[in-house]
C-alpha cells in the first residue's frame, strides 16, 4: 500500500522512476543516476545480437538503449499502464502483460534482467522458471534490495544458495548501497517540498504522506546500518562442476559478512568514520550542501566512511526527547548532540548551529564551519524590520552561536568577513577557507533564454538568483528596480511567486531551477543583482564570477572582498538598513552599469582569470586536507 502511494506521488511530481538510480558522482542528477544504471547493466551485456527478457519492465532508458545496440527486447509487467505506454513508446519491442510465473513462450533468451523485480514468488520457482527460459550458458542480471537477516524471505545468501541448487553459478556480486542513498534522500526532499500539492491533487492525507516519508527514512537507515543491501549479481546457467568451484569462492559469504555492522566494527584496520551535520539534505543545491558534499568526496578519497544527517532525519527522535518544540536555533544546536551517537565517529563536522553542541572527546574530533554570523546583523535587521527578531530570539541565537563556535577541535570561516566576526563577537580565531568552486561547469555554455522569452537582442538582462526573502535578500527592492528600469529585463530564478511580478512585463520568473541548468541561465543574462543585508560567502556571487558577468551588490560576503581594489569596485553598495537608501543607491549603480556596460563586462572577464585560481576546488581541497588532518 505504501509503495503504491509512493509511486502515485512520484508520478504526480513528474518523477515516475520508482527504481533507484546510481549516483556515481557527487553532482549527478536523477536523470544521470538513471543513465548510470543502464551503463552498469551494459558492462555485463556483452555484444548484440542477443535476446533479452526484462522482468518488471518500466518506463526507463533500458528498452531504448538495448534496441539501439541491436538487442531483441521483451519486457513483461503486471502493470497495464506501463505495458500500454511502453508499446506506444517502443513499437519495435515486445511487451507482455504478465509476470514471470505466468509467462508462456517457446522463446529462449540469452539474458534475463531483474531490476528490483526479484519478488516473483519463491526463489526456487523464480530460478526454475528462469532456467527454462534461458539458453545454455544464458545469464541472469539482478539489481535489487536484499536483507542480511536469515529469517527475512529476501535474504541474500538464501537467494544465491537457491540459484546454485537450480543450476546457476554466481559470476559476480557487488554491493551498490552507497550509490542509491542520494536517491532516497531526493525522494524524501521532493515529498517534503511539494507536500501541499500532493494533499490537494491526489487526495492523500497528511498522515499517509508521513507514512511514506517514514518508510523512506527507515529504509535509508537500514541501508546505512547494513541491514539491507542494494546488490548487483550476475548468475549463469552452468554445469555442476563449475557451480562447485563457484561455491568454494566464498563471494556471497564475504558480502553477507559486511552486512553485519558488529562484525565490521570489530575488524582490524577498520575505516575511519565521519559525520556531517546540516539543516537540509546534501541533495539540495545550496552553498552549504555543496561544501559538505565536497568534504564527503574528500574524505572518501582518503578512505573514510561518511554519514550525513540533516534536521529532517532526527525530528522524530528529537520529539521523543522534548526538543522539537524549542526555538529553531536551539533545536539545531542541541538536537543532533542529544539524539545521534556522534561520539562513535572519528570526526564530526558541524555547520553553523547544526550540531553546535557536539564537542571534542578523546576519540572524536569536532570541526565547526561558520558560513555566516547572525549575531552581527540581527539587531540591525530587527531595527529595520520590527518584530522579525524579538529580543528573546536574538538572545537565543547569540547563545547558540557562542556554543556552536566554542570548544572545537577546529573552526573554519568561509570568508575573511566571517573570520573577523567570529573574533570580534566570540573571541574565536578561525581558519579562513574560501569555498572551492567548479569553474569548468560554467564554460562554453549556450543559452536559449532570449529566444524562449522573446527578449530583444539589444536589451539588457539582469538576474536575481536565490530564495524570495525581503529581509536578508531584499528581494522586494530588486522587484522595485524592475519598475524603475522597464527597458531592462529582470529574471528571478527563485523559489516562489510574488504577486507584484504580474505588474511588470519585464519580469521573468523561473521557479526551482535545477543546479545543472543554472550555467545556461547565467549565459543568457548581462549582469546580476544582489542586495542582501548579509551574506557569509554567497554562491550566487561566485556563479556570476564564473560566468564572467558583473554584479551590483551590497558590501557583503565574498563579492566585497573580490571586487575591492578592482575596476568593479564602483558596483558595490555601502550597507544601510533603510529600504529607501538601498533602493536609491542600487538605482544609481544600474544607471552607471548601463552607461558603461562594455567596460564592466571586460573587467568581469579579466577578474575571472585570477578568481578561478583563488577559488579553485583544488586549492580548497589542499587547505581542507591540512586542517582536517587527513
pLDDT at 381: 58
337-346, 546-555, 615-624: segment of lowest average pLDDT: 337-346
Please report, for the domain that includes residue 59, its CATH number: 3.40.50.150
Q: What is the pLDDT of residue 589?
A: 96
Q: Which of 383, 411, 436 is the last residue of a domain?
A: 436
pLDDT for position 254: 58
**Domain range for 402:** 273-436
Inside any domain, residue 598 = yes
Q: What is the pLDDT of residues 464-484, one digit of tens each?
A: 998 888 888 999 999 999 999
Residue in the structure block whose three cell numbers are 576546488: 617
Answer whether residue 202 is part of any domain: no
**Which pLDDT score, from 0 to 100, does residue 284 have?**
64
Does 213 fall in a domain?
no
- CATH at residue 319: 3.40.50.2000
* Average pLDDT score over residue span 381-393: 60
Quote the CA–CA distance of 607 and 438 in Å, as a whole number.
Answer: 16
Whether residue 302 sits in one domain with residue 242 = no
User: Residue 132 domain-assigned?
Assistant: yes
Residues 242 and 117 in one domain: yes
One domain for residues 481 and 358: no
In a domain, 197, yes or no: no
Give strand pairing partners of 146.
229
Neighbours of 250 (CB within 10 A): 11
Same domain, 493 and 400: no
Do residues 50 and 110 make contact, with C-beta atoms less than 8 angstroms apart?
Answer: yes
Same domain, 600 and 535: yes
Max mean pLDDT among 117-126, 329-338, 516-525 falls in 516-525
- Are 503 and 605 found together in one domain? yes
- In this prediction the pTM is 0.56
pLDDT tens-digit profile of 570-610? 999 998 878 899 999 999 999 999 999 999 999 999 999 88
Say if CB 531 and CB 477 are below 8 A apart: yes
Same domain, 414 and 455: no
Q: Are 321 and 234 in a shared domain?
A: no
Establish if 8 belongs to a structural domain: no
192 domain residue, yes or no: no
Please tell me whether residues 340 and 448 are part of one structural domain: no
Q: Return the closest-CA partner of residue 100 out of 84, 123, 82.
A: 123
60 and 144: one domain?
Answer: yes
Query: What are the residue ranges of helices labelled H in 75-174?
Result: 80-89, 123-133, 156-165
* pLDDT attached to residue 13: 47
Integer angstrom CA distances of residue 258 from 169, 174, 253, 519: 21, 11, 9, 41
Dihedral angle, C-alpha 402, 311, 532, 594, nearest 10 °: 150
Domain count, the chain: 3
Asked whether residue 44 is domain-assigned, the answer is: yes
Q: Of 235, 266, 297, which residue is a domain's last?
A: 266
Amino acid at each position: 500500500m505504501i509503495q503504491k502511494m509512493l509511486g502515485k506521488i512520484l508520478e504526480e511530481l513528474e518523477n515516475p522512476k520508482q527504481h533507484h538510480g546510481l549516483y556515481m558522482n557527487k553532482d549527478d542528477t536523477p536523470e544521470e543516476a538513471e543513465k548510470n544504471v543502464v551503463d552498469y547493466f551494459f558492462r555485463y551485456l556483452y555484444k548484440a545480437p542477443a535476446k533479452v527478457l526484462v522482468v518488471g519492465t518500466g518506463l526507463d532508458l533500458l528498452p531504448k538503449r538495448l534496441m539501439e545496440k541491436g538487442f531483441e527486447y521483451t519486457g513483461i509487467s503486471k502493470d497495464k499502464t506501463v505495458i500500454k505506454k511502453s508499446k506506444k513508446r517502443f513499437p519495435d519491442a515486445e511487451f507482455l502483460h504478465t509476470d514471470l510465473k505466468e509467462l508462456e513462450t517457446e522463446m529462449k533468451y540469452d539474458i534475463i534482467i531483474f531490476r528490483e523485480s526479484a519478488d516473483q514468488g519463491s526463489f526456487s520457482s523464480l530460478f526454475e522458471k528462469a532456467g527454462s527460459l534461458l539458453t545454455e550458458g544464458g545469464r541472469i542480471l539482478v539489481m535489487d534490495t536484499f536483507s542480511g537477516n536469515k529469517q527475512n524471505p529476501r535474504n541474500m545468501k538464501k537467494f544465491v544458495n537457491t540459484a546454485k541448487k537450480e543450476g546457476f553459478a554466481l559470476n559476480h556480486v557487488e554491493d551498490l548501497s552507497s550509490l542509491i542513498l542520494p536517491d532516497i534522500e531526493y525522494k524524501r526532499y521532493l515529498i517534503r517540498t511539494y507536500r501541499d500539492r500532493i494533499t490537494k491533487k491526489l487526495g492523500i492525507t497528511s498522515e499517509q504522506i508521513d507514512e511514506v516519508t517514514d518508510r523512506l527514512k527507515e529504509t535509508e537507515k537500514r541501508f546505512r546500518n547494513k541491514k539491507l543491501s542494494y546488490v548487483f549479481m550476475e548468475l549463469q546457467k552452468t554445469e555442476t562442476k563449475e557451480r562447485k568451484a563457484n561455491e568454494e569462492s566464498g563471494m556471497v559469504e564475504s558480502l553477507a559478512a559486511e552486512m553485519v555492522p558488529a562484525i565490521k566494527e570489530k575488524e582490524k584496520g577498520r575505516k575511519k568514520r565521519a559525520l556531517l551535520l546540516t539543516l537540509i539534505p546534501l541533495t539540495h543545491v545550496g552553498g552549504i550542501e555543496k561544501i559538505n558534499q565536497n568534504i564527503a568526496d574528500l574524505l572518501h578519497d582518503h578512505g573514510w566512511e561518511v554519514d550525513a544527517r540533516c534536521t529532517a532525519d532526527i525530528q522524530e527522535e528529537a520529539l521523543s526527547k522534548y526538543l522539537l518544540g524549542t526555538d529553531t536555533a536551539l533545536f539545531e544546536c542541541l538536537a543532533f548532540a542529544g539524539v545521534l551517537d556522534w561520539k562513535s565517529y572519528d570526526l564530526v563536522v558541524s555547520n553553523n548551529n547544526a550540531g553546535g553542541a557536539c564537542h571534542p572527546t578523546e576519540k572524536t574530533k569536532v570541526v565547526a564551519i561558520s558560513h555566516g554570523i547572525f549575531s552581527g546583523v540581527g539587531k540591525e535587521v530587527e531595527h529595520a524590520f520590527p518584530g522579525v527578531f524579538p529580543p528573546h530570539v536574538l538572545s537565543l541565537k547569540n547563545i547558540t552561536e557562542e556554543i556552536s563556535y566554542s570548544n572545537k577541535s577546529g573552526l573554519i570561516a568561509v570568508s575573511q568577513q566571517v573570520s573577523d566576526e567570529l573574533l570580534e563577537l566570540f573571541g574565536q580565531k578561525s581558519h579562513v577557507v574560501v569555498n572551492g568552486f567548479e569553474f569548468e561547469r560554467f564554460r562554453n555554455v549556450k543559452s536559449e533564454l532570449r529566444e524562449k522569452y522573446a527578449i530583444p537582442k539589444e536589451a539588457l538582462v539582469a538576474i536575481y538568483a536565490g530564495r524570495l526573502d525581503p529581509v536578508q535578500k531584499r528581494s522586494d527592492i530588486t522587484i522595485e528596480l524592475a519598475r524603475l528600469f522597464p527597458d531592462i529585463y529582470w529574471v528571478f530564478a527563485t523559489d516562489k511567486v510574488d504577486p507584484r511580478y504580474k505588474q511588470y512585463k519585464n519580469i521573468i520568473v523561473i521557479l526551482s531551477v535545477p543546479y545543472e541548468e543554472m550555467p545556461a541561465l547565467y549565459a543568457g543574462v548581462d549582469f546580476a543583482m544582489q542586495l542582501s543585508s548579509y551574506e557569509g560567502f554567497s554562491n550566487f556571487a561566485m556563479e556570476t564570477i564564473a560566468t564572467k558577468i558583473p554584479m551590483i551588490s551590497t558590501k557583503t560576503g565574498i563579492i566585497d572582498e573580490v571586487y575591492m581594489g578592482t575596476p568593479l569596485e564602483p558596483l558595490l553598495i555601502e550597507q544601510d538598513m533603510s529600504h529607501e537608501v538601498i533602493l536609491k543607491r542600487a538605482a544609481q549603480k544600474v544607471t552607471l552599469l548601463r552607461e558603461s556596460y562594455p567596460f564592466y563586462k571586460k573587467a568581469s572577464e579579466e577578474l575571472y582569470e585570477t578568481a578561478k585560481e583563488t577559488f579553485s576546488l583544488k586549492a580548497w581541497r589542499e587547505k581542507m586536507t591540512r586542517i582536517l588532518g587527513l
